[in-house]
Amino acid sequence: MLKNNSADLTIGFDVGGTNVRGGVITREGEILASRTVPTSMDVEQLEADIVGIVEELRAEYTVDAVGLALAGFLDPSCEVVRFAPHLPWRKAHVQESLSRKLDMHVRLEHDANSAAWGEWRFGAGRGAEDWVFFAVGTGIGATLMTHDTIYRGAFGTAPEFGHIVVSPNGRQCSCGKRGCLERYASGTALPDTCADLREHYETSLPAEPTGKEITQAARRGDPLAVAVMEDFSRWLGQGLSIVADVLDPELIVLGGGVSQDADLYLEGATKAMGQDIVGAGHRPLARVATAELGSAAGMIGVADLARSGR
């Protein structure tokens, strides 16, 4: 028996490199039910898993559209996945394939854009007209929104703020460049910074700590971990100052996995941004806030995009 016969329900997916999670989302951004399966690196199996979750959920709920949030490069029409580093799709017409298999409207969107839309509709971005979303996790994803529009650039790949070079000839980045912001201000950067600073501080941390171990140690006052988070704050603040100089947003929202530890770096990053920005002390400064929807932001956001046909 269907639990809800409302056409206001859509299914949103967070298609990640580890898991695929799909949920039934209401018009108000509430998750009614969800399912999770491991991510397959076989295209046919991955799409079969997505179809399976949809069929399972719509056996219980009436839904009229499906949205998929994923990390990768999409074409400007958001129909073709050109490249997704942690997924098997390559120049794949995913929107067409899934629409045909499901016989319903399917919407694709970049994961950071999806999360930004979710925060704008239901979270920390509500009411903002010119603002930036930073997804700080394994790397840094970002979205620029003006009024009710996601800015994509001419070829649909903007903005790659995580790959702003902040330290020429610095740490090697997976993108091929050196010194990118995400090599100093992301979850994967924390262990590298820890290794760089270890000889200068006493610590109880293991030889190769995880990012979580570092943040936990920082809360306990471990000298090395505290120094690592201070370094993280400075680099993030420098990156935010560049974004503020170029775009002059009213608001910057920090989301992603590392945002749950924002109390360890938000104040320092905001201070560093204020010091590094052009015209420091003589111009308004963007407000920096943390995201409110957590890991579900992308799923909620892309479901809303699918519903609205945006």
Amino acid residing at 254: L
Give the CATH class of 126-291: alpha beta
Instruction: Please check whether the two domains, 10-116+296-308 and 126-291, share a CATH topology.
Output: yes
Decide if pLDDT at 173 tops 70. Answer: yes
Beta bridge partners of 108: 68
The mean pLDDT of 270-293, rounded to a whole number, is: 93
pLDDT band at 38 (very low <50, low <70, confident <90, very high): very high
pTM: 0.90
Cα-only R_g, the chain: 20
Cis, bond preceding 159 (omega within 30 deg of 0):
yes
Task: State the average pLDDT over residues 284-289.
Answer: 94
Whether the Cβ atoms of residue 307 and residue 10 lie closer than 8 Å to each other: yes
Instruction: Name the CATH topology of 10-116+296-308.
Output: Nucleotidyltransferase; domain 5 (3.30.420)
pLDDT in tens, 289-310: 999 999 899 999 999 999 987 7
Residue 298, Ramachandran bin (φ over 0: left; ψ between -120 and 50: alpha; else beta):
alpha
Where along the chain do its domains lie?
Answer: 10-116+296-308, 126-291
- Give the rounded percent of residues in the chain with a pLDDT score beyond 90: 84
Residues present in the chain in total: 310
Q: Residue 48: what pLDDT?
A: 98
What distance lies between CA 106 and its chain's CA centroid? 21
- Provide the residue type at 207 as one letter: A
